Every structure is written in structure tokens, then in C-alpha cells.
Amino acid sequence: MDYYAAFEISASGMSLERIRLDTLALNLANANTTRAEDGGPYRPLRVIARARDAAEFDGRIDALLNSRHPGGVEVTEIVAQTVAPRMVHDPGHPDADDRGYVAYPNINPVSEMVTLIEAVRGYEANVRALNAAKAMALSALEIGRSS
């Protein structure tokens, strides 16, 4: 069994979940930001990931020859969502329009927290898989040492 592949797959999953956690924290921190760099309200970010998979035989051979193990996940991009802002009537706000409405980011803290819990659980699952692979590797070394 190739333990390095198991370690790399778990590590890629932990890395993805960490990036998701950072992105969710950024979204929650900017839930009331009415003026971002582009001039409008903050736009919530989402992480786009895909499975790393060398499905073709040549791709698998190339990956193994270059010490890259097929499998795991990778972040392809972090995109700003194009959702309509949440309009709140507050004529005294400095960012209010001519009708007295302020455009706030359309961030639902409840759904962000649910996604945050999901990312934490995914991270924990990858840690458990990594620890299981580590325990199997140590057991294999113990078997080899006793013979």
C-alpha cells in the first residue's frame, strides 16, 4: 500500500477545508461591509474545487513517475458570487442612495455557519483518515521489525 498517496489525499482535503474556513470567516467578517474595493457592497466568496484525478492511463503513469499521486482535491478558484445585495432603508447612512436605501451584502449568517460546520467536519474527517493511514504505516513497520 502506498501510504504517501493516502497522506497526500488527506492533506489535500485538509487544505481545501482550511481554505473554505478562511473564506467563510471572510464572508462573515464582511457581512455588513457596504463599500468594497469595487465601490459596491462586499460580494460573498465561494471556493470552487475539483477532484484531482488522472483518469487516463498515461496520466496515472506520468503522475507516479513525477512522484505525484493521483487523487485528492484541489481548489480551482475562489469566486465572488453575483447575488443581488440586501437593500435596507437607512437614509442617514453615508452609503445610502437617493431613495435612502443602503446596499448590504446578501450574506445569510445562518447558512454561512452551517457551511462552516460542514467544513470543520470535513477537516476532522480528513484528520481521522490521515491518522488511520499513519497507524497502518506504523503497524507495517512493527511487523517488518519483528521478523
* Count of structural domains within the chain: 1
Q: What is the Cα–Cα distance from 140 to 44, expressed in whole angstroms? A: 47
Give domain status of residue 15, yes or no.
Answer: yes
Model confidence, pTM: 0.81
Give domain status of residue 112, yes or no.
Answer: yes
Q: What is the pLDDT along the chain (147 residues), one digit of tens a residue?
A: 577 888 888 999 999 999 999 999 999 999 999 998 888 899 999 999 988 875 555 666 666 666 665 678 889 999 999 999 999 999 999 999 999 999 999 999 999 999 999 999 999 999 999 999 999 988 888 887 765
Q: What is the Cα–Cα distance from 101 to 92, expressed in whole angstroms? A: 9
Q: What is the Cα–Cα distance from 69 to 133, expressed in whole angstroms? A: 15
Give domain status of residue 92, yes or no.
Answer: no
